[in-house]
Amino acid sequence: MHRILLIDDDEQLGPPLATYFQRFELELVQALRPSQGLALLEGPGQGGFDAAILDVMLPEMDGFELCRSIRRSSDIPLIMLTARGEVMDRVVGLELGADDYLPKPFEPRELVARLQTVLRRMKAPAPNDAQDGKGVQVVLAFDGLRIDPARRSVLCLGREVELTGTEFDLLHLLAREAGRVLCRDDILNQLRGHEAELYTRAVDIVVSRLRKKLEPLDAIKTLRNAGYTLALRPVPT
């Protein structure tokens, strides 16, 4: 059973949501304050949690600052809840490292679907992954970049780079399709496993985050009105 942390100061939200989550083998734990949620995540293995849901409007600090704080030390999947559903809220959340967003009020089933998607992306091998004779996913190596799908780790110029789940999936997708230009719709269709509001600006935001983390390596090339491609030469592993 996956453990999910909900950081939301609405005391009436957690109990019924936890009951609903049990139908999908999800255990929900609620923290009413950001400090409480951060303390729970500081334990070994992210406190035993597999994903976290953050409300934007919180005491002590807002959800954006909380997201930034979590991302300093963890790549746990994050879904943000925003009461307004405004585009700027989504942009800021994604820029800070959130994996998905959902406007309030929301349908519990949609929240579960989005959680299942980010959890599945974290564990399941991509459909086009190359594997060796023993079924182990093959490491993808390029000039200055090494991607290990099995460990979900990335080495850039010899240093390990911490990526969020969405960042890793996007980079891994570009690496698997090296030499091919992928448009935003192609990327969104492969990264999202449920019928959600597709937000093309989200791809640009994740690419921007990736570029910063991979500096000084110029790994991702933009082709105007076409899409993105990995701009590195493959090398033997």
Instruction: Name the DSSP letter for residue 185.
Output: H
What is the Cα–Cα distance from 176 to 158, expressed in whole angstroms?
A: 20
Q: What does the pLDDT read at residue 200? A: 62
For the question of whether the overall pTM of this predicted structure is more than 0.75, the answer is no
- Pick from 97, 102, 99: which is nearest to 84 by CA? 102
At the top level of CATH, the class of 140-230 is mainly alpha
Q: Which residues contact 46 (CB under 8 A, 6 or more apart)?
A: 74, 76
Fold of the domain spanning 2-123: Rossmann fold (3.40.50)
CB 56 within 8 A of CB 89: yes
CB 7 within 8 A of CB 54: yes
Q: What does the pLDDT read at residue 150? A: 86
φ, ψ of residue 2 in degrees (nearest 5): -80, 140
Q: What does the pLDDT read at residue 123? A: 62
What is the Cα–Cα distance from 46 to 39, expressed in whole angstroms?
A: 10
- 3-state secondary structure (DSSP) of residue 2: strand
Length of the chain counted residue by residue: 237
pLDDT in tens, the chain (237 residues): 899 999 999 999 999 999 999 999 999 999 999 999 999 998 777 788 999 999 999 999 999 999 989 988 888 999 999 876 566 666 777 777 888 888 888 999 999 998 988 888 766 554 444 444 444 568 999 999 999 998 889 999 999 998 887 888 899 999 999 989 998 888 877 776 433 344 567 788 889 989 999 999 999 999 988 899 999 999 987
Which residue do the tokens 């492969």 mark?
190
- 3-state secondary structure (DSSP) of residue 58: coil
Q: What ranges do the domains of the chain cover?
A: 2-123, 140-230
